Structure 1
Amino acid sequence: MRRFLVMIVMVLLPAIAAAAPVRIKDLADFDGVRGNDLVGYGLVVGLDGTGDGFRNAPFTEELLAGLLERLGVNVTDEALRSRNVAAVVVTATLPPFARSGSRIDVSVSTIGDAKSLLGGTLVMTPLKAADGNIYAVAQGSIIASGAAIEGEAARVVEGVPTSGKIPVGARVEREVEFDFASIQNIRVALRNADFTTATRIEDAINRDFDRRVAITQDSGTVLVEFRQLGDVNPARVLGRIENLTVEPEDRAKVVIDHKSGTIVIGERVRISRVAVSQGALTLSVSEAPMVSQPNPFARGETVTVPRTVAELRNEPGIGFAEVAGETSLSDLVEGLNALGVRPREMIDILKSIHAAGALHADLVIE
């Protein structure tokens, strides 16, 4: 018998403003101080028969032939049938101010029908940015994130063996030109835009420097003008700013994740006066196949006749219950628990309260 039930986990998070002040570096980014995405197309060798099949992935054969020809091996008109190589896409992030010769981590993922990258080695692969220029070159042994075991009639896979990483597997060959020391101003970009938080960052910076060097431009941007400080080193100024602390504000939110059955309710959530009634619906399906066979010495054959028993049961639920106005999070949880509401019913109740306009928070359903 299969029962269709939803298990819900509810997480109650306190408001961030009730916690200790947070550093600016944990709330915002500095405009221009960011990484750059890199991507490349390469070849992994040394696989134990788990690579691409050239019939299904002809681009792997072309890539292998090109590599061998560059190494001085003539493979013209040769039929390559190796299962020890795989075509992959290599990705990485070039950190801000990365210098030539420094090393960065890379991720490797198959694009053909390879079954595993365990034991493979990535051959020298150029990594390009959005402008088409090569900024790094990757090469090295792959650490795959899974394992696969295969027999004649079964295959067991743990994790994702078709992708992996190479720690410090790429060397930076080209630097991103950015004269940071000559900038006159910089923008502080909040990760979660909020006017209150932005003005608090402005006040904290101006108070620390004892002059008006920061101006709030919008809910997500605070402009810092270095010329107000005279001849200074921008790097030292930002190092001082990013360690200042403020108390950030956040919007009241209720986040519902149907896939994992998780509900996250912020402490700032408020509910107006509303009446709630909840019923419980259970659907059960069971299979009881019957075997039908002919009488002795009669012509015919034995067949299995499927038989499905489906039951839809409406279990007694709670009657109408009143939730008082301006209910806080703790009052809401306490009231719903007292009413006997099960966790799997919480999602429907919250969505209905939001539809009635009584839930004063952003409802985010993922």
Structure 2
Amino acid sequence: MAVGASSLSVTCRRLRPHIFMILVQTASAFLYFITEAAFNHGMNPHVYVTYRHIVGGFVVFPFAYFLERKIRPQMTLNMFIEIFLYSLLGVGLTINMYFASLEYTSPAFLSATVNTIPTLTFILSVIFRLENLNLRKARGIAKATGTLMSLAGVMIIALYRGPAIRHLWEPLLHLMKSEIHKNWIKGPILSVASCISWSIWFTMQGFTLKRYPAPLSLATWANFIGAAQSAVFTSLVVRHQPVAWVKTSFIDIATILFGGVVSSALNFIMIVWSSREKGPVFVTMFCPLQTLLVVIFAYFIVGEKLYTGSIVGGAIIITGLYLLLWGKASDQEVNIKSEEQPSLSAIKQNEPKLQIVTVLEKESQNH
């Protein structure tokens, strides 16, 4: 009974990063519909980003203050500058560019570009030696193939429709669709820039966490500094519209609270923790799940059309994700074995050596 409980505990500990990232992408997909409703209601996206991260900072702060008192490094000027850049890449610059690009492009295009983040992060991690890529081994081929397959699956969902699937029941929710002012020069530039910034942020986490190994405190700093950066940017955008900062409707307040508590606090912590345990490539590889979940939620809850291209792309995404996870698991097994071998050899060297001497050998030695 104790052995079974122990093996279950080990399994849960091993699968914890996977569970965290599935929860992150599920919450992000659900948040997509809430924010869409709030934006259609008139809320400014940049004001939302600012308020969301203020809420997230206040939610994480008490946990960071009490739980990381002994492990939190002393803040220095160099460390503050690094966290300032970390917050700019993860919050202040990237998320504001992401929401600004929504005003000029279609959701399908943005979904395709955002999900290039795993590929960009994978390339950056290999360049900075945060990720091993040995194409002579099956695990290396699996990671590279899985990354490209997930990217291909997202592109299929975004660019190929195919026949529509008939609805089985009436949608549970009805969302008003706002008109999109398309600009196919400014929009793609903003969306691609946000993807590059996000990829650099995910890669930067590996270095920042080594110098500041306190994920809760790092999340608190990033939320507050990112909110301040976003507030400066937002004040330039809505400087002649002070009413944009006043939120009284239920949908606006609920969206800010849900985004702050879930996305800026819980999701942020789970992303940072999983990145420290598994690396940035592991974290970003779950990004395509958000596109797949948005398609599923849109069909079953909102009543949007589901096309066969989405089904084909979703199957390819899942296959690619499985290949990458298998490659990462194989890498981890190899690392564990390589760490165990030196310890075993050291034990063998320290073992007492027994020498058996027979009676005849002893008599010959005496003579």
Please tell me the TM-score bracket, short chain as reference: under 0.3
Larger Rg: 1
Higher relative contact order (CA 8 A, sep 6+): 2
Which structure has the highest strand share of the two? Answer: 1
Which structure has the highest helix share of the two? Answer: 2
